Amino acid sequence: MSPSDAPNGRAVLTAVACYSLWGLMPLLFMAMAHAGFGAPEILAHRAVWSVFVAGALVLALGQWSAARRVLGDVRTLGWLALSALLIAINWGVYVWATTHHATLEASLGYYINPLMNIAVGAVLFRERMDRWGVAAIVLAAVGVAVQTVALGHLPVLSLILAFSFCAYGVIRKRVAADAATGLFVECLVLLPLGLALLVWLETHGQGGVGFASTSGLIWALSSGLATVLPLVLFSSAARRLPLSTIGFIQFLAPTLQFAVGVWSGEHFTLLRGISFAFIWAGAGVFALGAWRRSRAARQAIAAAEPI
């Protein structure tokens, strides 16, 4: 590898680490559930401890003044409050799914999400949808339909995860705040809700695991670190990698989630396998289309450069 190639190599490894952490996160929540944490308590600790990790990140990056500006802008703060609500819904559903033997359904949602982004981009941002995007969405729609037949009901968990994260992305695309600052403000918004939920659980005899022992506190703290660390890695990789590369790597997360679901013994039938085959085909078409667009853009830039 030449010196000029090294930054890209490091960026690829950073992206792989990011999506691997996201993909293996169900193992953390499963372990916390085994240690006695209920899904609501995991969510509450995630909301509480994330703010400290995100705050430390903002300080380390020297973005405290940017955070103060965002907190003083009522309009921006309002949009971030809405995005915080959406991410809280996403977190809550995901934690519940991974602690109630529904990791496969959760992975389906994250396969659907990038394909949903294509459709939303075409509708809201007038982004051009090429034949690759249309084919990917059609294949994903067939996969969801087959999954509905396999489950005997609409895959509600998958759709909530996909819709909530897609809507979250739309809002963050329009908000004038970088990743670290925006996440910190979102965590600040969720902090009172997390604390209130912890108090409610404690008074109703359904919580307290996170403060009952040193190991419980370590598990609780790890949920905050696991929330913020992948986003830090993603922000670093996204600045240095082309969309096509990110497009390929991002499917690592739901693939690992799928593997964790199968490994943990979740019910997997032939019909569910067929539904995932359509989803995987749609993901493959999406990634191939992203790669072709990126290659065409590079060729156009090379052709425009003076000899």
How is the chain split into domains, by residue range? Answer: 6-304
Output the six-digit token pair for 151. Answer: 């489950």
| Distances from the Cα of 164 to the Cα of 56, 137, 179, angstroms | 27, 18, 18
Output the six-digit token pair for 71. Answer: 């907190």
Q: What is the pTM of this model?
A: 0.84
Output the six-digit token pair for 40. Answer: 């609501």
CA 263 to chain centre: 21
Radius of gyration of the chain (CA): 20
User: What are the 10-residue block averages of pLDDT along the chain, 307 residues in total?
Assistant: 51 87 94 91 92 91 90 92 93 94 91 79 72 84 86 88 87 81 91 93 78 84 90 74 67 90 90 89 82 75 67
Sort 68 into a burial class: Cβ within 10 Å, 0-12 / 13-18 / 19+.
exposed
Position 245 scores a pLDDT of 66
Position 2 scores a pLDDT of 40
Position 279 scores a pLDDT of 85
Total length of the chain: 307
Give the list of residues 6+ apart from residue 79 with CB closer than 8 angstroms, or none. Answer: 171, 174, 175
